[in-house]
Amino acid sequence: MPKYLLIVDHRPGVVETPMDEWKPDDVKAHMDYYGALREELLDSGELVDQQALTGPEFAKQVTSDGGAPVVTDGVFPESKEMLAGFQLVEVADEQRAFEIAARVSAVPGPGGVPLQQPIGVRRVMEAADFEALQSER
């Protein structure tokens, strides 16, 4: 079965208020929603991994020419474009990945309003994809 990466970034959807300004009950409802979705996807065997990431203010950029790495605070896109977290799912098809992404997009925000946060969906490359790239050369 194909794997898909569901990408959650810092774009707010329909709610502009940052989570650190939400009421505690709203944060709890938000996290409980993610927890319930996680359990559902674990039970179905579709969830491979799910992680939330620290804020962009903690991000570093590493470059190297093969020698010692150079670590900087880097030049980053706007923080709203930075990765906030992800789900890696293994599902029957792209449509199922879209269904799960829609559930992630609907996570509740303040007052229970679905955030409608844009969720990126990208298929993980498989051996056949790499073979196709090589045969194109």
The CATH number of whichever domain residue 30 belongs to comes to: 3.30.70.1060
pTM: 0.86
Question: What does the pLDDT read at residue 78?
Answer: 62
- Residue 14 above 90 pLDDT? yes
Q: Between 18 and 26, where is the model more confident?
A: 26
Whether 127 is in a domain gets the answer yes
| Euclidean distance between CA atoms 84 and 79, whole angstroms | 9
Contact call for residues 73 and 61 (beta carbons, < 8 A): yes
Question: Which residues make Cβ contacts (< 8 Å) with residue 118, sequence separation at least 6?
Answer: 9, 11, 13, 105
Contact call for residues 10 and 56 (beta carbons, < 8 A): yes
Contact call for residues 49 and 88 (beta carbons, < 8 A): yes
Whether 64 is in a domain gets the answer no
Structure tokens at 127: 């051996």
Lowest mean pLDDT among 34-38, 74-78, 85-89: 74-78
Whether 108 is in a domain gets the answer yes
Whether 41 is in a domain gets the answer yes
Whether 65 is in a domain gets the answer no
Whether 113 is in a domain gets the answer yes
- Residue 81 above 80 pLDDT? no
User: What is the largest distance, in Å, between two alpha-carbon atoms of the chain?
Assistant: 55
- Residue 11 above 70 pLDDT? yes
Contact call for residues 6 and 89 (beta carbons, < 8 A): yes
Whether 28 is in a domain gets the answer yes
- Residue 120 above 60 pLDDT? yes
The domain tally of the chain equals 1
Structure tokens at 55: 């804020």
Structure tokens at 70: 């150079």
Range of the domain at 21: 3-53+80-136
Provide mean pLDDT across the span 50-76: 87
Question: What does the pLDDT read at residue 75?
Answer: 62
List the one residue out of 31, 72, 78, 30 whose CA is nearest residue 56: 78
Q: What value does the mean pLDDT of the chain take?
A: 91
Whether 91 is in a domain gets the answer yes
